Chains A and B, each alone.
Chain A
Amino acid sequence: MPPTVRNADVSISVAERLAPGEAPDQAVAREKRRHHRQTALRVLCIVPPIALLGALVVYPLANAVYLSFTKSSFINPDPDWAGLANYQAILTSDTFLTVLKNSLIWTVAVVAAQFVLGLASAILLSQKFKGRLVLRSMVILPWIMPGVIAGVLWKLLYDPYLGPVNAVAGGLGLVDGNPAWLGQASTALAAVIIAAIWKGFPLSTIMYMASYQGVPNELREAARSDGANAWQVFLHVTLPAMAPTIRTTVLLTTVWTFNYFDLVYVMTAGGPGTSTEIFPTYIYREAFQNVRYGVAGAYGVISVVLLSIFTVVYLRQLNKSGGLD
């Protein structure tokens, strides 16, 4: 057997690479030197991106985690070490339960509705009809509109006296008087959820539209000649073919919705009371109104942990059912 360099990635037969007048063992040494040089180069290439990642991701994260173990107040804004006190207080408080419950309802309702609405509008807009192009460019408007503007717009829509929502609902005899949808705890969360669905669904529409049109027509035709009706074609062929896009989109919209701040903040600022308080708005309130950075930090850490657990479980589940492809 010819001498080979015993190294994971350089197991090239040295006998074939002998320089003129070179002994095999010299060649082995040469190969080893070359290998070391390569390793050094690799390390050199990897360092900058890792440093950048560290500065951009790890430092803020670590800082938030540190803050969550400290105490500060309006009078004494410098953080003092407080150990687990913040977490203990939060996990036993009613507010935390409210925020958690609101966040869950908010996220599940918005994501589910955006999925259904996005899919339905995507299929509708993929059909051939007059004015389809106009409708397609219009449907994206809510998505490109800044969240703050959308918040103001929906506040106007919901205005008890001037808003068209009450005008229409009153006209149809659905409501008595002038209910303040955003002003009462029983309806405020539902009202902001509707606004958020409207604001975000075009992204799902666009993703699903691209995916729907990417399903080869031949597949649908095959299913039709296999005896499927329109609904069966959709259920057994179109939907499974769109599954990878659906999985990705649902994951993305979940993360975005869970972290969505500006719309709720503009419309209700978490009120009335804590009825529309979700993690981002409540973190803002603790940090910048109550100046309790420690509590805000702890809420932040908890929300990241929750989202990470969700993502891991979701991706796990995905891998079981065929992964993202």
Chain B
Amino acid sequence: MASVSYRGAERLYPGGDRPAVADLNLEVEDGEFMVLVGPSGCGKSTSLRMLAGLEEVTGGRILIGDHDVTDVPPKERDIAMVFQNYALYPHMNVADNMAFALKLAGVGKEERMARVREAAKLLDLEPYLERKPKALSGGQRQRVAMGRAIVRHPQVFCMDEPLSNLDAKLRVSTRTQIAALQQRLGITTLYVTHDQVEAMTMGDRVAVMKDGVLQQVDSPLRLYERPTNVFVAGFIGSPAMNLLSAKPGDGGVVIDNHLLPVDRATASKIDGDVTVGIRPEAWRMVSESEGGLPVRVTVVEELGADAYVYGQCDLDGVPGQVVIRAAAGRVPHKGETVHVTSDPDRVHVFDGGSGRRLST
């Protein structure tokens, strides 16, 4: 049993005027892979370090299983941390790096070596056990950092952007490896990243943070399909969701004189200006006579199977950016003007002031 609960956890740095992490309520289930994602400085690392005991908790509680660890020193929390820069002990070789925690825990030499070898085998590190960290490549160091965590068989893994020092290709392959490894070991994992693609591909569930405040916790698909507010809508997905300001209209919303129909339940909730969110793939190209929003194409990104079409539209005199995903064979040319609209079930409506989701 090693679930993790943040109960109103807060971290206020001395001298700070507002908490770096405010009233965080988050439940990570036993064996779950939870990803914390958000823009730089939103408090992801701080949240993680609070769990690991490396950061003081200034309010609320943190539980591991049924055990309140808020005031427990890190060494008694049974958490293995993987750091962004790996933090390998430079004077120890790979085997000693991995065995260090076991040695401190008083595990016998035989058992220690057995576990190190097992982890090394799992991570393809067997040829490097005698090497010092500085004689390893970035990817190998990353694996040693992982190995150091897994030999411990801890209650919880904490990983703070463990892939950000790898090149793009290695990052993608390591991403899959880590996710597979976690699934196999079944150890509760809290994983921090600022990369929403990483979050979406790795997490069982994803927690999105902004300015120290948790915005939404959901499965990747739910986050994509039902973002709870404008921030999450814009943060999750690549290219980002089109977010256009609109006014209430008859049975829908009006973007620059073009009526976009929304379903009745949503329409009834609209009072005042709204922000409309439409994913690039949710646009439908129509003929001019059907009354779509005119978009002048400025850039076309061909991806083979489809293309991303970037264009400009006019929002009551203010130029707006629009991204459209177009299927191959129907890709407009640069300079052309296309007309686009969408369907009620694919339109996200957010309150213009608070940014909260209005669509059902």
Stretch in B80-88, B120-128, B186-194, B273-281 with 4+ CB within 8 Å of A? B80-88
- Chain B 51-78, CB-CB to A under 8 Å as 1, else 0, gives 0111000000000000000000111010
Number of B residues, CB within 8 Å of A:
24
State the Cβ distance, B91 to closest chain A Cβ, in Å.
Answer: 4
Residue from A216, A219, A225, A237 in contact with B52 in the complex, judged by beta carbons closer than 8 Å: A225
Number of A residues, CB within 8 Å of B:
19
A243-B91 contact in complex given A225-B74, A228-B75, A232-B104, C-beta closer than 8 Å: yes
* B54 contact set on A, CB distance < 8 A: 221, 224-225
* A219 contact set on B, CB distance < 8 A: 87, 89-90
* B104 contact set on A, CB distance < 8 A: 226-228, 232
* A218 contact set on B, CB distance < 8 A: 83, 85, 87
State the Cβ distance, B86 to closest chain A Cβ, in Å.
Answer: 8
A residues 203-234 near B (Cβ < 8 Å) are 216, 218-219, 221-229, 232
Chain A CB within 8 A of B101 CB: yes
- Chain B 31-63, CB-CB to A under 8 Å as 1, else 0, gives 000000000000000000000111000000000
Chain B CB within 8 A of A241 CB: yes
**B87 x A222 contact (CB < 8 A):** yes
**B105 x A221 contact (CB < 8 A):** no
Counted as pairs of residues, one from A and one from B, with CB atoms less than 8 Å apart, the total is 61
- Closest B-chain residue to A239, C-beta based? B91
**B83 x A236 contact (CB < 8 A):** no
Chain A CB within 8 A of B79 CB: yes
**A226 x B91 contact (CB < 8 A):** no
Chain A CB within 8 A of B310 CB: no
A241-B87 contact in complex given A224-B74, A225-B74, A226-B104, C-beta closer than 8 Å: no
Tell me if B's interface is mostly helix, strand, loop or mixed. loop
Residue from B53, B75, B87 in contact with A216 in the complex, judged by beta carbons closer than 8 Å: B87
Chain A CB within 8 A of B100 CB: yes
- Closest A-chain residue to B154, C-beta based? A225
Chain B CB within 8 A of A240 CB: yes
Chain B CB within 8 A of A48 CB: no
- Closest A-chain residue to B134, C-beta based? A325
Chain B CB within 8 A of A322 CB: yes
Complexed CA–CA distance, A237 and B92 (Å):
10
- Chain B 100-128, CB-CB to A under 8 Å as 1, else 0, gives 11001100000000000000000000000
- Closest B-chain residue to A322, C-beta based? B91
* A240 contact set on B, CB distance < 8 A: 89-91
State the Cβ distance, A168 to closest chain B Cβ, in Å.
Answer: 40
Complexed CA–CA distance, A226 and B79 (Å):
8
**B74 x A241 contact (CB < 8 A):** no
Residue from B73, B83, B88 in contact with A221 in the complex, judged by beta carbons closer than 8 Å: B83
Identify 17 residue pairs between A and B in the complex whose beta-carbon atoms are under 8 Å apart, listed by A's number.
A216-B87, A218-B85, A218-B87, A219-B87, A219-B90, A221-B74, A224-B54, A225-B52, A225-B53, A225-B80, A225-B81, A225-B158, A226-B148, A227-B105, A228-B104, A236-B100, A241-B90
B interface residues, Cβ below 8 angstroms from A = 52-54, 73-75, 77, 79-81, 83, 85, 87-91, 100-101, 104-105, 148, 152, 158
A interface residues, Cβ below 8 angstroms from B = 216, 218-219, 221-229, 232, 236-237, 240-241, 243, 322
**17 additional contacts (CB under 8 A) given A218-B83, A218-B87:** A219-B90, A221-B87, A222-B81, A222-B83, A224-B74, A225-B74, A225-B79, A225-B80, A225-B81, A226-B104, A227-B101, A228-B75, A228-B104, A236-B89, A236-B100, A240-B91, A241-B90
Query: 6 nearest interchain CB pairs?
Result: A226-B101, A222-B87, A218-B87, A240-B91, A227-B75, A225-B81
